[in-house]
Amino acid sequence: MNKTLKLLIRIFAIILGIFLLAMIGLNIYFRVNYADFYELSERGFKIPGLNEGFIPQGLTRCNDGTFLTCGYMKDGSASRIYIIDNNSYVSLKNLDGSVDTNHAGGLAVNGDYLYMTNEDYISVYLLDDVLTASAGNTITPIYFFYTGLDSAFVYVNDDKMYVGEFYREENYPTDESHHMNTDAGDMHHSIMAVFALSENSEYGFLSEIPEYVYSIDDLAQGVCITGRGNICLSTSYGTADSHIYIYDDPAQYSADGEFEIAGTRVPLYYLDSNHLQKTVTLFPMTEELFFADNKINIMCESASNKYIFGKLTGCSYVYSFSVS
């Protein structure tokens, strides 16, 4: 064996050793730093598309138990909706036939319809168009619903649709009218609007004007409602810790004020520390939530090819934890 080959083997061995040590160290850090979360949670199904450039964002479940996720692509190609059970997907197109590359931050099922966030709109799809499509087929929305805010996530619970926005001063600003100092002394910069739904109405919407609005915390990525009516907010950004804040619903009490949206003044509620019941701290880059079978299911984007490190820390899976 010549000297050059020996040197190359040694270099490769050193690089491999450094990689293995880094991976072990990262896993130890996660298991120690988030030990409380891992103790109360369980690993669920694997997130699809992670090695294909898919960056998962939204999470929802059909009435038959089928989970769906949506997200955008690292290479800027068409955003996708995945059927998690069979790992198939549909690509998104706009009404004019152009490729839809929007962030696809949120997804929710309502009867025969599927709602997806699309900047200040909700794109409405026929659920069957997704469930019956062949892998790789394209679908287009049948309707656009104006929300009056920069929609980042969406959730449907019973006869209500919750649409919220994400705020970060440096790169995701919101309208100044959304910046509020709450009664608890919390500074909020985002809102979440609540719309009434009806299975007898076209596209599932009873009204395109919100019933009421919440003032919510910054960095919100998703929301879900528990069986007891608690509001759970997922917040994250970058490699910092994620948090799931569990609140008593302030909408069961008197309104904290009024807020003008879509040209109409509606009741305003502060989803703030006065109503906070529990905080769950967990690994970085959590996205949307979905409540099912008394568990909060958590989508995460860190194992995508854009960020990679989640592949090494077990975040290629949806985790869930029980709530009473």
Examine the pLDDT at 136 and tell me if it is beyond 90: no
Q: How far apart are CA 238 and CA 286, in angstroms?
A: 10
The answer to whether residues 13 and 60 belong to one domain is no
The answer to whether residues 125 and 159 belong to one domain is yes
The answer to whether residues 81 and 21 belong to one domain is no
The answer to whether residues 51 and 102 belong to one domain is yes
The answer to whether residues 188 and 210 belong to one domain is yes
Q: How many domains does the chain have?
A: 2
Question: What share of the chain in percent tops pLDDT 70?
Answer: 91
Domain holding 116: CATH number?
Answer: 2.120.10
The answer to whether residues 206 and 301 belong to one domain is yes
The predicted structure's pLDDT at residue 85: 82
The predicted structure's pLDDT at residue 133: 86
Q: How far apart are CA 54 and CA 57, in angstroms?
A: 9
The predicted structure's pLDDT at residue 127: 96
The answer to whether residues 149 and 295 belong to one domain is yes
pLDDT digits (tens, 9 = 90+) for 179-208: 999 999 999 999 999 999 998 899 999 999
Token pair listed for 73: 């692509």
The answer to whether residues 25 and 119 belong to one domain is no
Amino acid (1-letter code) at residue 192: M
User: Is 317:87 a contact under the CB 8 Å cutoff?
Assistant: no
User: Is 91:137 a contact under the CB 8 Å cutoff?
Assistant: yes
Token pair listed for 139: 């679908």
Examine the pLDDT at 300 and tell me if it is beyond 60: yes
Domain of residue 5 covers 1-33
Token pair listed for 252: 């069961």
The predicted structure's pLDDT at residue 13: 61
pLDDT digits (tens, 9 = 90+) for 88-106: 999 999 988 899 999 999 9
Pairing of strands 264-270, 153-157: unpaired
User: Is 168:150 a contact under the CB 8 Å cutoff?
Assistant: no
pLDDT digits (tens, 9 = 90+) for 18-59: 555 555 556 666 677 799 999 999 999 999 999 999 999 999
The answer to whether residues 156 and 292 belong to one domain is yes
The predicted structure's pLDDT at residue 3: 67
The predicted structure's pLDDT at residue 236: 98
The predicted structure's pLDDT at residue 291: 98
The answer to whether residues 10 and 86 belong to one domain is no
User: Is 293:277 a contact under the CB 8 Å cutoff?
Assistant: no
How far lies 165's CA from each of 188, 192, 260, 285, in Å? Answer: 11, 7, 16, 16
As a whole number, the mean pLDDT across the chain is 92
The answer to whether residues 15 and 159 belong to one domain is no
The answer to whether residues 10 and 121 belong to one domain is no
The predicted structure's pLDDT at residue 312: 86
Mean pLDDT confidence for 112-138: 93
- SS3 per residue for 43-60: EEEECCCHHHCEEEEEEE
* DSSP letter for each residue of 270-324: E-STTSEEEEEEE-S-EEEEEEETTEEEEEE-TTSTTT-GGGGTTTTEEEEEE--
pLDDT digits (tens, 9 = 90+) for 240-283: 999 999 999 999 999 999 999 989 999 999 999 999 999 999 99
